[in-house]
A and B are shown apart, each in its own frame.
Chain A
Amino acid sequence: MREINEMLKKKVSELLENGTADRIIGWQAGEFCYDVTPAVMRKDNLDELFYNGFCGANQSKYLIQESLEEGKVLALLKPCDTYSFNQLVKEHRVNREKVYALGIPCSGMLDVDKIKALGITGILSIEDNGEEIKVATMYGDKTCKRTEVLQERCKVCKGKEHKAYDELLIPDEDAPEVPNGEDRFELVNKLEAMTSQERFDFWRGELSKCIRCNACRNVCPACSCRTCVFDNDNSGVAAKSNADDFEENMFHIIRAFHVAGRCTDCGECSRVCPQHIPLHLLNRKFIKDIDEFYGEFQAGEDDTAKGPLTAYTEGDCEPSIVMEKGGEA
């Protein structure tokens, strides 16, 4: 990782020096070893740039605003970020011309909340070298397995290939191995196998924790509406906590419907949720159903193909299938 960090710094300063881009969205260190903040940097503060196992935040969404500004912005895209990037370009939300995309390798991002959930608290520093993560804490040195503390999305990594770039920092074949992808539908299958009451209880339990902070919506690259329906007073639904918590649970269902067919399963919603609600499971259910009804489709694989819900083919399933599926299962 240190090697890649050095290469990256060199490459970025080269690209800013030769005028390929005039600024970069990078990552800045925080108070602790894990609380990295996305930040726009220019030549004069480029020394703050760094890249480590806590740079999980998908920066594609910032490009909507950045590509409206003067000049060209340098974007650092991990393989999974390129899917969101493609999708945003496809939806004409990001102006491709205004972005120089540098593909950077990734060997899996870490989730500090998972480290803390293991009872490792008072964290002073984290050494990320391979299979074992060493954590120095105020209460002594601890270790944990990398696989235990990977971000949810990294456990089902789509692979090391970048689907969009102007340049790659290192060729994809030479990039470090990504985590072994688990089956991303495993939990969806489990939920499908439940009775409808069990499933209802599961989701009520999860969604009732929601504090309506809207972090999931605000971070989501597929939620790119200028004014969200929940921010529109005339819609009758509010962006804040409601008098009726069932109504509130519907926020998530509506959001999942709205991003269906466009959600790349980037996992940002679940990453930012302060209540660790597994929002990705809602999205994955939609992805799985779409795959089954319309044929396999991965949103963001490229920046041109029409999505299954925005294109019509004769083989499309009949709407009545919803009725058949919706009954007691």
Chain B
Amino acid sequence: MFKIALDKIDELFAALSGNETLYLPIEKSGEIEFYPYEKDAKVRLDALHTVKSAKDLFFPQTENLMNMKLDGKNIQIEEGRHVEDPFVLFGVRACDARSFDVLDKVFLADPVDSYYAARREHGVIVSMACSRPEETCFCNVFGIDATMPEGDVVVWLDTDHLYWEAKTEKGEALTKTVESVLTDSDSKAVEAQIAATKEIMDKLPLKDLDLTRFTEDEMMNIFNDSRWAEMSEHCLGCGTCTFVCPTCQCYDIRDYDTGHGVVRYRCWDSCMYRDFTRMAHGNPRKSQLERFRQRFMHKLVYFPENNDGMFSCVGCGRCLSKCPIHTNIAKVIKTMGVKEHE
């Protein structure tokens, strides 16, 4: 294990961003997102969550696929992708780190999404352990250890040091490039922090959410449960919950008329939107009830059913704090986790 004093952390960021782009939580116009590091950036390692999750780096909200330009009677087609640039993604929390496993199941399954795959290959993940979870956090419910996130390198932060440990080959290689600014360290401080954080995690208000009912056997009972009506009644049908979610994976492919050509791009889509999966015959989910139900059935029943029991929620709590009317997956788990009329 290595360490570096926090008052020298800019040296680490400078070293990490020397050869490739370094993305980390940075505050701009008052909000924190993963932005490329530059000197004097307002780095916010204290923040638990960026608004958009870290998935934006592998599966960006919009990405141009190709540009079509009219040249006389010819149409020129250029590929629009930039996916082979190596980058370092620093400061990913355990919940977001697990979300990559969920996304891998979707995008790396046959047929492989070459855009996503290229970014996964070229990105090195430096994840960061949590020591001050919020009341909305419930990663533990999905078996995620907030003190020991997945990643190529894991870092822990205390009041005056950052501790660094490589976990994979990619992580070892990255460590080599920054070794000159790090010093050797024992793991005492980290062990103490892990123990302290575990005690806090045991007191989280949502730590006991019970997922046992969300099985294939109960699928149709949950689907037909009459309580979806009241749960979805005031859903605004906005896309907030889906766009802040690290595991939501649906996208749309659209053409944008620039006036002198066409840009074909893909962008995040939301099952809460009424044109979602609309086909020639119309939309399969006509009411907000059906759309609302889809989001949660997908995360809690269909996805695990198709992926060896892996839920497609990682308990980051973003939808809990961002839904404008405060209806969310924790409420759904609590309500639907218990049989109707019980």
Contacts and interface: CB of A to CB of B under 8 A. Distances in A.
Contacts of A236: 257
B234 A218 contact: no
Contact of B133 (A57, A122, A218): A122
Contacts of A312: none
B234 A39 contact: yes
Interface string A215-250: 101110000000000010100101111111101000
A282 B141 CA distance: 42
A133 B142 CA distance: 34
Q: Most chain-A Cβ atoms within 10 A of its Cβ — which of B135, B230, B321, B328?
A: B135
20 contacts: A35-B320, A35-B326, A57-B325, A62-B234, A122-B132, A124-B135, A208-B29, A211-B52, A211-B239, A211-B240, A240-B239, A240-B267, A241-B61, A241-B268, A242-B62, A242-B256, A242-B265, A271-B324, A272-B236, A272-B324
A240 B64 contact: no
A31 B205 contact: yes
B238 A209 contact: no
Interface in A21-60: 30-32, 35-40, 57
Contact of B327 (A37, A62, A113, A240): A37
A59 to B, nearest CB: 9
A206 B29 contact: yes
B77 to A, nearest CB: 15
Contacts, number: 140
Contacts of B325: 37-38, 57
Contacts of A231: 274-275
Interface of A: 30-32, 35-40, 57, 62, 113, 116, 121-124, 138-139, 205-206, 208-209, 211-215, 217-219, 231, 233, 236, 238-245, 247, 271-272, 274-276
Contacts of B204: 138
By size class, the interface of chain B is: 35 or more
Nearest to B264: A243
Contacts of A217: 238
B243 interface: yes
A121 B263 contact: no
B31 A209 contact: yes
Interface of B: 28-31, 33, 48, 51-52, 61-62, 64, 132-136, 200, 203-206, 230, 233-234, 236-240, 242-244, 252, 254, 256-258, 263, 265, 267-270, 273-275, 320-322, 324-328, 330-331, 334
A121 B134 contact: yes
A108 to B, nearest CB: 19
B183 to A, nearest CB: 30
B256 A244 contact: yes
A239 B233 contact: no
B305 to A, nearest CB: 26
Q: Is the interface of B mostly helix, strand, loop or mixed?
A: loop
Contacts of A214: 238-239, 273
B236 A219 contact: yes
Contact of A209 (B29, B263, B321, B327): B29
Contacts of B256: 242-244, 247
Closest 5 CB pairs of A and B: A272-B324, A35-B326, A215-B238, A243-B265, A218-B236
Contacts of B258: 244
A218 B274 CA distance: 12
A39 B274 CA distance: 22
A211 B268 CA distance: 10
A157 B282 CA distance: 45
Contact of B240 (A122, A138, A215, A245): A215
A208 B244 CA distance: 15
Contact of B135 (A36, A138, A209, A238): A138
Contacts of A38: 234, 325
Contacts of B254: 238, 240, 243
A121 B132 contact: yes
Contacts of B273: 214, 239-240
A213 B234 contact: no
